[in-house]
Structure 1
Amino acid sequence: MEIIELLLDQMGILLLIFARIVGMLMTAPIFNQNNIPAYVKLGFSLILAFILLPILAVPTNLQLENFFQLMLLGTKELALGIMIGFICYLFFSIVYIAGHLIDMEIGFSIASVLNPMDENEEIALSANLIFVMAILVFLSVNGHHKLIQVLKQSFDIIPIGGLTINGLMIEKLISIFISIFVIAFKFAAPIIVAIFLTNVLLGILARTMPQMNVFVVGMPIKILLGMMVLFIVFPLYIGFFEYIFDTMFEHLWQLLHAIVKG
């Protein structure tokens, strides 16, 4: 009975914790997959909320006097959870950007396959292969565990109802977008450089041997060379994925602190 009475007394706090967790699971990589049923995500969010309820420090000035205050704070918590998950998803989108760059250079952009994360969206061939590899590395380094840990610690950094929009937060979001494009270009740089040198060589051959059909000869050469370079650098991509995940959590921490400092 004491547990039931405690839950009834803390129902508003439980709903706010639940809102932030649901927001993160809606957008965070691994957890936001369409093949995971919605009731599983909601049940997992509710279990996490029950676990976090007795161990989180609730602000003393938190006012939950009526339904409208609960809705306002719930919206803020949901938005903060979505922001946390979306930042993580942005770093996974590095694979998409790099994959499209690679496919455009190799010539695979003509074909596409279905994205395993979103069945209604098409994704490049190289991006699909690299994305599966990124998921496996993320799970192998227990990134999903660390993501839940970051969610728990976000309550320590930003207490319930503590989300505020400020200039420092906007500036940090802009820097995250810049970092994503820079890392994606670095990711695809070996393929881009190799195909660029191949195009230069084909251009020289086209000038010296005008009778040769460069388009017919160049397409299979670029595909073969691109695949060779891609499989050569695959072992290096494992370490690069770990760098991406470390950068993701570092930027996430900086964003959470920027919200507080602003």
Structure 2
Amino acid sequence: MIEVTFDQLHGWLVLFFWPFVRITSFMLAAPLLGHSSVPRQAKLGLAFLMTVALGPTLPDMPDTPLFSWASLGIIIEQMLIGIAMGIVLQVMFAVVQAAGEFIGLQMGLGFATFFAPDTGANTMILSRVLYMITLLLFLAFNGHLVVIEILASTFFTLPVGIGGFNPGAFELLVRFGSTIVVSGLLLALPLVGPLLIINLSLGILNRSAPQLTVFNVGFPMSLLTGLTLLMVLMSDIGRFMQRLFSDSLLFMRQFLEILAPLPPG
């Protein structure tokens, strides 16, 4: 008869529970796996499989009782690491959504919105199309495999029970949010620039010839020009996305390295 002592059972639970919390927190915060259309059972099942696969290769876990205040602190620590990684990916995908918002407003598609269940707000159609294209490109470039590799490496750079974080890393994460505006404008600039010139020209034409119905001419012209330029942009969007993915994943690695607490003294 096989007998399992409480210490053995506790050791097995500790070996898998805390990594499971970090992986689950990341999946809930990540834009791909954390999407509302993915069932919760699938998320928990995938997190459990990843934990079982990574568990034997992880460093030794802290000798802390699972049902204690110290264990609660470790759980919060693991949740912060997973959520921080998910926020980096959220910022990366928010770049194309912001670009879609900028382009849609200039094309006159501000009214073309629908309710997005994952965000809980109205989203422009063009913004959603660019988001889905970016999601497919991310999978085509094997970005999800790179993210899983980074997640597995965090257990060595940020072991369970590290005891604290570097506060400067969170400030760096907040500054990384500026990528949404900067990169979003860079992506939308080839369309926003010409469309802005067209709108300014139509505004001047309306002032010089008020009897001309500018709205009947301006909207079709802006829409047709925007669609034409969007076709040109789609032919070269892969290079921009590859650069965006590389910079974001490189920042994720650097952020996790900086997140480690500073040595005393």
CA contact (8 A) 1:163 1:259 kept: no
Amino acid at match of 2:45: G
Judge which range, 148-157 or 106-115, deviates more: 106-115
Gaps of 5+ in 1: none
Question: What is the CA distance between 1:177 and its match in structure 2?
Answer: 1.0
Once the two structures are TM-superposed, the CA of residue 58 in structure 1 deviates from its matched residue by 2.1
1:238 alignment partner AA: G
- Alignment partner of 1:203 is 2:220: no
Q: RMSD across aligned C-alpha pairs, in angstroms?
A: 2.2
* 2:158 aligned partner: 158
Indicate if the aligned counterparts of 1:95 and 1:130 stay in contact, CA closer than 8 A: yes
Which residue identity lines up with residue 41 of structure 2 in the other structure? Y
Whether 1:50 and 2:52 are equivalent positions in the alignment is yes
SS in 1 for 2:253: helix
Looking at structure 2, the residues matched to 49 and 39 of structure 1 have their Cα atoms a distance apart, in angstroms, of 15
Question: Secondary structure of the equivalent of 2:32?
Answer: coil
Report Cα offsets for 1:199-244 as digits up to 9, x if no partner: 2221332244232122232111111111111111111111111111
Taking structure 2 as the reference length, the TM-score comes to 0.90
Distance in 2 between residues matched to 1:170 and 1:45, nearest whole Å: 25
| 1:55-84 residue CA offsets vs partner (Å, 9 max, x unmatched) | 01126xx24135122222112101211111
TM-score, normalised via structure 1 length:
0.91
Contact 2:91 2:179 (8 Å CA) reproduced: no
Partner in structure 2 of residue 227 of structure 1? 227
Counterpart residue number, 1:72: 73
| Other-structure match for 2:184 | 184
Alpha-carbon distance in structure 1 between the residues aligned to 2:4 and 2:180: 46
Alpha-carbon separation, structure 2, partners of 1:104 and 1:6: 61
Inter-partner Cα distance in structure 1 for 2:227 and 2:252: 34
Determine which structure has the larger helix proportion and give its number.
Answer: 1
Identity %: 25
Paired residue type of 2:114: V
- For 2:28, give the aligned amino acid: M
Once residues 2 and 250 of structure 1 are traced to their aligned partners in structure 2, the CA distance between those partners, rounded to angstroms, is 48
Q: Give the equivalent residue in structure 2 for 1:37.
A: 39
Of residues 166-175 and 82-91 in structure 1, the stretch that sits farther from structure 2 once superposed is 166-175
Give the 3 Å change call, closer, same or farther, for CA 163–9 of structure 1 in structure 2: closer
In structure 2, the partner of 1:252 is 252
Cα shift at 1:143: 1.0
Question: 1:172 touches 1:258 (CA, 8 Å); kept in 2?
Answer: no
The separation in 2 between residues aligned to 1:212 and 1:18, in whole angstroms, is: 66
What is the identity, as a one-letter code, of the residue corresponding to 2:211?
Q
* 3-state SS, counterpart of residue 10 of structure 1: helix
Q: How does 1:77-92 map to 2 (within 5 A)?
A: 77-92=78-93
Where do 5+ consecutive residues of structure 2 fail to align?
none
Equivalences, count: 259
Distance 1:7 1:183, change over 3 A: farther
Change (3 A) 1:3 1:173: farther
Q: Which runs of 4+ in 1 moved over 6 A?
A: 1-7
Tell me how far apart the structure 1 counterparts of residues 4 and 95 of structure 2 sit (CA, whole Å). 45
Give the secondary-structure state (helix, strand or coil) at the position aligned to 2:178.
helix
- Answer yes or no: is the 8 Å Cα contact 1:88–1:248 preserved in 2: yes
- d(CA) in 2 for partners of 1:14, 1:200: 61
